[in-house]
Amino acid sequence: MPESRSRRKAAYTPPPTSSSGPKPNPPWFVPVMLGLMLLGLVWIVVYYLSQGQYPLPTLSLGGGEWTPGNWNLVIGFVFIMAGFLMTTRWR
């Protein structure tokens, strides 16, 4: 009886190397992130301690007055939220 041919296995090819992972953040990232959060906190604290006079005081525009009121709170919280959104990208 004739002997069957043996099958040759293909040469081993290792799987492609995966990337080393996500790139690290630039050196300015963490100071900006913390700076935004602290700026927002300071903005709100100054607003409360000055009883609404600072950081955006009442402005006189063309004979009328514009009172920013609680917009100072909104501005402070926007700075804080921008800092917290940056924490989601921190590596």
pLDDT in tens, 60-85: 556 666 666 678 888 999 999 999 99
Q: Is pLDDT larger for residue 72 or for residue 86?
A: 86
Which amino acid is it at 12? Y
Domain membership flag for residue 3:
no
Domain membership flag for residue 90:
yes
Domain membership flag for residue 73:
yes
Domain membership flag for residue 16:
no
Domain membership flag for residue 4:
no
Domain membership flag for residue 74:
yes
- Domain membership of residue 36 as a residue range: 26-41+69-91
Q: Is the pLDDT of residue 24 over 80?
A: yes
Placement of tokens 């906190």 in the chain: 41
Alpha carbon distances (Å) from 58 to 3, 53, 67? 100, 7, 5
Q: Which of 51, 34, 41 is nearest to 90 (CA)?
A: 34
Domain membership flag for residue 31:
yes
Overall domain count for the chain? 1
